[in-house]
Structure 1
Amino acid sequence: MGRTPKDTITIADVARAAEVSRATVSRVMNGRLSVAPDIAERVRAAIDRLNYRPSDLARSLSLGRTNMVALVVPDLGNPLFQQVLRGITNASGTAGYRVLVAETAEDPSAEAAIALEARRRCDALIMVAPRLPEESLLELLPEVQPVVLVNRQGPPGVSSVVVDYGRAVRIVVDHLVGLGHRRLAFLSGPPASASNLARLRALEVAEREIPGLQLVRLDCGWSIEDGYASVERVLESDVTAVVAFNDLVAFGLLARLNEVGVAVPADLSVTGMDDIGLSRFAVPSLTTVWVPQKWLGELAWQRLHAAISGAEASADGVPELRLAVRASTGPVPAERRAATGRVGWQRQGDLFELGSDSGLLARYEFGRRMPGVHAPRPYLHPVRTLGGQPLTEASPVDHRHQYGVSLAVAGVNGTSHWGGRTFVEGHGPTLLRNHGQQRSRGVTVDDSLIDDIVWYDEQGRPQLVERRRLHGELAEGGWRLDWESVLTARYGPVRIDSPATTGRPKAGYGGIFWRLPSAESTTVLSAAEDAYGSMSPWLAFVQRRGDAVTTLLLVQPDEIRPWFVRSTGYVGAGPALAWSEPLDLQPNQELSLTLTAYLLDRSLDASEAARLADSGRR
């Protein structure tokens, strides 16, 4: 007799071959211990001989379970829900379960019917951010047990995994208030969203607690398209910052702002929520609150599995929310703040500004948002003339690691405090994992700004301490900025190098470096015939932008060092610490660095520049 194809073999065939009942075969296959060992062995032999494979459906019916769970989400296009799904799928898969996914398309009226149908096909249900009204949800839950809710608090007896979105939105508001913003727009999410209601309640509390805070609430939605369509209403609201319901709304907002010529964050700061994977790649990168998306799914599964199996439910809480500060937020635009009425430093949130009755002159940032590969360090940007012309550039396309005015050194005991690639003899510029950090340990302000800084290598070990003094005053129809840094080798000997000292000719850069913006024309003036590498006590850039002419005069008031200078390709200059030879500091030895700058809304010739430089030298 020919062999029967395996897809026609039934449990009855196995029972006949083993000379037992169908119930005995079922007990053996389900691992029951009530079958005698010799009979169980006979059944297993028959199964192998006939190549029997039970029907999953039949087995599910006999066991009364499907080993499937249903997941109902409002919108599968939202990366937040995708990550929650991934967490549930990965965690349930290890327990032998599969996931049936259903989407409600943000339609609360269809949600109950979809949840009921999904639950009938599966052993249990997870509802992510259900949009049902509270009364309807309470009616539904007893019919779909066991069930777990994600981002919606359930009644007693129903497990919930909830992010505190009220806390999340307050984190964002506090960040913006710290930057000086007082008039904010909130782009509200779906009206039926419980997390949106939590945001609105938290915003009401913030208005009561924060003096001068004004919040404009604008109906929006949850998608990129909703954010894109909101721009005109945002601009009409006359706000300085926007809190978007989620990152997708923020993406749409950023895209439309770019199209209409609104600079972010120079004109308007924008924040999101959830920190989905694309947030750091937005243009500009998006400041948002990190939410543990995949972890939410994993915890939801743990609690659901406990309900299915009768085990003890996990007591784990949701991890602490974190603010991811990126490039889409900054201080309030200078024209939106009251003038200081004098030249002086003032704290504005988490940075400091030098202002006068003409407005912002300079902003001092701590570099906390700089990528590690840029060698994070405090810097000045923007630095402007009294007429408002910018004379610094930060992270330009040609050299992303150059930031306004900073103390940037290519090599400190092998650590880069310059950023970007390091010159390696025989290989050329090479991206190494050798980028250090300069961290401010405290700022005091009187007539000057004084910053105490520690320099760390790429392993987090301290290398130098620095006391930095920045002072501004009106001078010569413009204004004058004095920079003085005293470095101390408190932690042992220090060798300062440049690419020139490690094999690259004429690349002795490193020190107080001033990166200027490009212009229609740039003229370099110096006391030497060739400014590059010269020991001229001063250097000037005369630039023309349309009808505006500016001069930046840089003076070395004390020890004169060779000038590293560029005027083609990009514009920048600074006195070099290791022009052709390394500079060595012995333990506890001090190194003093000084630079004086005059910022003028007019052109200087060489003789006037020399006269002004002499008045600035000590």
Structure 2
Amino acid sequence: MTRRSAAAGATISQVAAAAGVSSATVSRVMNGRATVAPDIADRVRAVAAELRYRPSNSARNLSLGRTGTVALVVPDIANPVFQQVMRGAVDVAEAAEHRVLVAETAGRAEREVEIVREARSRCDAVVLVSPAVPDQELRRLLVEVAPVVLVNRTVPGASAPSVSVDHGLGLHLLVEHLLGLGHRHLAHLAGPATAAASPERERTLQDAVRRWDDVRVTTLAAGSRLADGYAVADDVLETRATAVVAFNDLVAFGVLARLNETGVAVPDDLSVAGFDGIELGSFATPALTTASVDQADLGRRAMTRLLDLVGGRTDGDFGLDVLEPRLLVRSSTGPVPPARRPARPPASRAPRAALEHEPAHWVVEGTGARLHAAGTVLARLNDGSATPKVHSPRPFLHPVHTLAGFPVTASGSVLHRHQNGLSLALPDVDGTNHWGGRTYVDGQGPMLLMDHGRQEVDGLSVDPDGLTLAARVRWTGRGGDVQFVEDRRLGAQVVPEDETWFLHWHSTLVPERDTTLTSPVARGRPGAGYGGIFWRLAPADETTVFTDAGEGEPRVMGSRTPWLAFVRRHGQSLSSVLLVQTTTGDPHPWFARCSDYVAGGPAIAWDAPLVLPAHVPVDLGLTTVVVDRGLDRASAARLADEALARRA
């Protein structure tokens, strides 16, 4: 009998007879109930395995009073966001041997309650995504259809857990990015009036207006679909705003399509940003800057909590699980057009009195970090993981601001998409491009090769005093081999009485093998000795560059001096960025640009290959002094001496 059952599949009666128990006992064991003695349960499971017994799902569900099916109710099944939520939810349900019934409300709040009730009548539980019904009606519905989990909706006092997105944080990241690029008039394309995220986003925008006395936000009613963005694009142009923040990525795509038809250049004439981070955003033309949310993870979390409710694996906690968006800077946003730049300074972001009572401190947030001072953010660290491979992904600081709020860094330039804020970038590490973009080939010029490497952050921590951020960075080559392991430390000090703050960068790189660094100059390209700790600076009305040996790009480029200064004019105001080399030994040559774009940093392999022995640490150091006034040579030299003293 055993052989025949093993081949054909045993019945519950055969398992019961072989184990010397009743069929009811076998049923209780296979359903995971704890009312059977452990030794008997072990014997039943062993016999079931030997006979290859597989309980009937329908019979098991019948005995448990369940269908084995859960419902997922979404507003719009065509929306890629809800498709990703569904994908994550289905993955979790399938792993738990549950089926998923998907129902769509087509965004019609008046039919939502009816559809949810019908779905619940056919299933064991419901995941309800972005419901539009009013709070009071939703509370009653949640009690009626329990167990249920909400996604992207919170209701005070609701008897159901919720998984949601911090929409306020996402919009704050986008607004901060655009203000850092110099934009002061934003067009906000609002979503449907019933969207739960709308009040939170509106509060964030109003907060920006209160904090910046020269910021204007024009809100236009749009919607949530591609056609809505297309339809409202002409109204956006009428506002004369310099940047658009759309309700979601689909609306942003519609705006881009209409702007392309009308000949408006993005981002040269108008910057456009979305929200959600759907996959299509990286394939748009231009690629879309957005606040990205892992929508599949949203679905996974919601389904996990739902199955815990169904299985009784919960303590009745109906709390809120919140996902934080992250900023993805792509090519649809850029500096405000020169003719539209404000002639007066922005409102102070970090008042002196507040700075004296709250020193600067780093805060780790997910895979990135931010530098706080007096309730504002002076700098953000982005891990760079979302950067396309062709731009040599690496961590970078952006945006960075002066204490008065002037933007210091630029990111996503149309001509130099690989230059993002402040980073450590090398053009040639044993044939791997860690700079991004094109590689200079002797006799052929700049060529787009598939030779790009990647820097990955392995871990972030903050020193106990909060002033220094420590990062472990792994450099991988074009073939996936590890080239360097880097210990990076970013220290910060604020001196409010001097309108100044200091950023200390120190990196220790350990080569995994003998490694050669090369610059394009060594390959025959004049004036292209770049490679090292590199600043891509934000545009200003006017910028000058100088060292203690001379002024202007021709005099500065390639000079070996301890410090270099950029002085920038914003209307009637001045700010300065002073770079001070802190590496032991003679200064490296400076790479500095001030004409078609503004950038600079010490170049560690200027005009000849640099060979680094395996496992011998290499130290790189640069202190940057960010000042809300103009510097001359004498004051720059004094600050450079102070920077070295503070670094020591």
Normalising TM by the smaller chain, what interval?
0.5 to 0.7
Is residue 2:246 matched to residue 1:268? no
Cα distance, 1:136–1:21 mapped onto 2, change above 3 Å: same
The Cα shift of 1:277 comes to 1.3
> Match for residue 210 of structure 1?
212
In structure 2, distance between residues paired with 1:38 and 1:490: 61
> Match for residue 147 of structure 1?
148
Deviates more, 1:369-378 or 1:248-257: 369-378
Identical amino acids, percent of aligned pairs: 43
Please show how residues 406-485 of structure 1 align to structure 2 within 5 Å: 411=428, 416=433, 417=435, 419-421=437-439, 431-434=450-453, 459=484
RMSD: 5.5
Superposed CA deviations along residues 407-449 of structure 1, whole A, max 9, x for unmatched, are 9985477664574347599xx9853345799xxxxxxxxxxxx
The Cα shift of 1:130 comes to 0.5
Cα distance, 1:331–1:150 mapped onto 2, change above 3 Å: same
> Match for residue 248 of structure 1?
250
1:228 alignment partner, one of 219, 227, 230: 230
In structure 2, distance between residues paired with 1:303 and 1:168: 24
In structure 2, distance between residues paired with 1:311 and 1:559: 66
- Name the amino acid aligned to 1:432: D
2:524 alignment partner, one of 508, 520, 535: 508
Cα distance, 1:510–1:310 mapped onto 2, change above 3 Å: farther
Tell me, yes or no, if the aligned pair for 1:411 and 1:498 is still in contact at 8 Å.
Answer: yes
In structure 1, distance between residues paired with 2:53 and 2:162: 42
Tell me, yes or no, if the aligned pair for 2:186 and 2:243 is still in contact at 8 Å.
Answer: yes
3-state secondary structure, aligned to 1:101: strand
1:158 alignment partner, one of 160, 175, 197: 160
The Cα shift of 1:59 comes to 3.8
Cα distance, 1:133–1:243 mapped onto 2, change above 3 Å: same
The Cα shift of 1:498 comes to 6.1
In structure 2, distance between residues paired with 1:333 and 1:38: 78
> Match for residue 297 of structure 1?
299
- Name the amino acid aligned to 1:312: T
Is residue 2:329 matched to residue 1:325? yes
Superposed CA deviations along residues 558-616 of structure 1, whole A, max 9, x for unmatched, are 9999xxxxxxxxxxxxxxxxxxxxxxxx96364467899899xxxxxxxxxxxxxxxxx
3-state secondary structure, aligned to 1:162: strand
3-state secondary structure, aligned to 2:138: helix
Tell me, yes or no, if the aligned pair for 2:150 and 2:162 is still in contact at 8 Å.
Answer: yes
Is residue 2:83 matched to residue 1:65? no
> Match for residue 190 of structure 2?
188
Tell me, yes or no, if the aligned pair for 2:128 and 2:151 is still in contact at 8 Å.
Answer: yes
Unaligned runs of 5+ in 1: 341-345, 351-365, 379-392, 438-455, 464-488, 502-506, 515-553, 562-585, 600-618
> Match for residue 101 of structure 2?
100
Tell me, yes or no, if the aligned pair for 2:390 and 2:436 is still in contact at 8 Å.
Answer: no
3-state secondary structure, aligned to 1:273: strand
3-state secondary structure, aligned to 2:220: strand
In structure 2, distance between residues paired with 1:202 and 1:558: 43
- Name the amino acid aligned to 2:451: L
Cα distance, 1:251–1:588 mapped onto 2, change above 3 Å: same
In structure 1, distance between residues paired with 2:109 and 2:203: 22
> Match for residue 199 of structure 2?
197
In structure 1, distance between residues paired with 2:31 and 2:309: 22
Cα distance, 1:234–1:513 mapped onto 2, change above 3 Å: farther
Cα distance, 1:494–1:591 mapped onto 2, change above 3 Å: farther
Is residue 2:334 matched to residue 1:336? no
In structure 2, distance between residues paired with 1:303 and 1:93: 15
3-state secondary structure, aligned to 2:276: coil
In structure 1, distance between residues paired with 2:65 and 2:13: 20
- Name the amino acid aligned to 1:65: R
Superposed CA deviations along residues 238-285 of structure 1, whole A, max 9, x for unmatched, are 211111000111111111111111111111111111111121221111
Cα distance, 1:560–1:242 mapped onto 2, change above 3 Å: closer
In structure 2, distance between residues paired with 1:408 and 1:55: 60
Superposed CA deviations along residues 319-369 of structure 1, whole A, max 9, x for unmatched, are 4322111111122211223569xxxxx99999xxxxxxxxxxxxxxx9999
TM-score, with structure 1 as normaliser? 0.58
Alignment length (residue pairs) = 443
Tell me, yes or no, if the aligned pair for 1:161 and 1:296 is still in contact at 8 Å.
Answer: yes
Superposed CA deviations along residues 58-78 of structure 1, whole A, max 9, x for unmatched, are 442332012221111111111
Superposed CA deviations along residues 180-219 of structure 1, whole A, max 9, x for unmatched, are 2222111111211111232223323333333122222211
- Name the amino acid aligned to 1:95: A
> Match for residue 74 of structure 1?
75
In structure 2, distance between residues paired with 1:53 and 1:255: 55
The Cα shift of 1:140 comes to 1.0
Tell me, yes or no, if the aligned pair for 1:207 and 1:214 is still in contact at 8 Å.
Answer: yes
> Match for residue 135 of structure 2?
134
- Name the amino acid aligned to 2:198: N
Say which one has the larger Rg: 1
Tell me, yes or no, if the aligned pair for 2:289 and 2:331 is still in contact at 8 Å.
Answer: yes
Please show how residues 384-399 of structure 1 align to structure 2 within 5 Å: none
2:586 alignment partner, one of 582, 585, 588: 588
In structure 2, distance between residues paired with 1:461 and 1:13: 63
Cα distance, 1:93–1:494 mapped onto 2, change above 3 Å: closer
Superposed CA deviations along residues 482-528 of structure 1, whole A, max 9, x for unmatched, are xxxxxxx9999997746796xxxxx61153499xxxxxxxxxxxxxx
Tell me, yes or no, if the aligned pair for 2:212 and 2:346 is still in contact at 8 Å.
Answer: no
TM-score, with structure 2 as normaliser? 0.55
2:179 alignment partner, one of 177, 180, 183: 177
3-state secondary structure, aligned to 2:78: coil
Tell me, yes or no, if the aligned pair for 2:174 and 2:291 is still in contact at 8 Å.
Answer: yes
Is residue 2:153 matched to residue 1:168? no
Cα distance, 1:595–1:85 mapped onto 2, change above 3 Å: closer
Tell me, yes or no, if the aligned pair for 1:408 and 1:513 is still in contact at 8 Å.
Answer: no
Is residue 2:85 matched to residue 1:84? yes
> Match for residue 572 of structure 1?
none
